[in-house]
Amino acid sequence: MLQPITIHDKQFSLYIPERRIQHSVEVVAARISHDYRGKQPLFLAVLNGSFMFASDLMKEMSIPCEISFIKLSSYADMKSTGKVKEIMGLNQEIEGRHVVIVEDIVDTGNTIAGLLPQLREKGVASVEVATMLIKPECLEHNLSIKYPAISVPGEFVVGYGLDYNGLGRNLRDIYKVM
């Protein structure tokens, strides 16, 4: 029996081992490579959590593709639309591009629901979402997430890019809180 790990004040148990993660990433990369043949997609990885998934996904792609990294920051004083996030670091022209958003996890869907209209406003040719993890039972928006790697229940997870108060991102496996 594997020992739980401690991060800050909480204990976590192994949930998704590295080999299953890698297999799921390969499957998603193969699907995207197939769907975007001849289109040279632009991946937009949402920092910080997606850095590891984005890296592994890129390595498994079998077609030419580009990547850019963005951060999202909430508008400070827009209480009524507190979920709207400003895109930071988008230094690439995305008009006319086939964009694939790369996320670590889709939980409520607020982040993606806020991001999609902003990208469409900038005139992308198409936009889809690839996410390492999705919590279907937590989704609060009618979103179509085309490339989810692994579905998980609504429990807090860390590892493979995901953190608990700054720690745990470097873990090769995914752990869930006990």
156 binds, among ligand 5GP, Mg ion, none (CB under 5 to 8 A by kind): ligand 5GP
Q: How far is the CB of 37 from ligand 5GP (least distance, A)?
A: 29
> Which secondary structure element, helix H or strand E, spans residue 20, and what is its range?
helix 18-35
**Residue 68 bridge partners (DSSP):** 44
Catalytic residue ranges:
107
Binding mask of the shown chain, residues 25 to 64, with x at each position contacting ligand 5GP by CB under 6 A: ------------------------x---------------
Do residues 151 and 169 lie in contact, with contact meaning Cβ atoms separated by under 8 Å? Answer: no
Unique residue bearing structure tokens 């999705």: 134
Cβ closer to ligand 5GP: 86 or 163? 163
Q: For the chain, what is the total number of helices (H) and then of strands (E)?
A: 3, 10
* Residue from 21, 57, 99, 106 in contact with ligand 5GP (CB under 6 A): 106
Cα–Cα distances in Å, from 63 out to 41, 45, 130, 169? Answer: 9, 18, 16, 28
**Residue 97 in 3-state DSSP?**
coil
Nearer to ligand 5GP, 103 or 173 (CB): 103
Which position among 22, 55, 68, 110 is part of the footprint of ligand 5GP (CB under 6 A)? 110
For position 131 contacting ligand 5GP by CB under 6 A, the verdict is no
Contacts of 40 (CB under 8 A, 6+ apart): 63, 64, 65, 66, 98
The reply to whether 49 sits near Mg ion by the rule CB under 5 A is yes
- Quick note: the x/- pattern for Mg ion over 96-135, rule CB under 5 A, is -------xx-------------------------------
**Residues contacting residue 73 through CB under 8 Å, at least 6 positions apart:** 85, 86, 88
Footprint on this chain of Mg ion (rule: CB under 5 A)? 46, 49, 103-104, 163
The binding site for ligand 5GP (CB under 6 A) comprises 49, 103-111, 156-158, 162-164
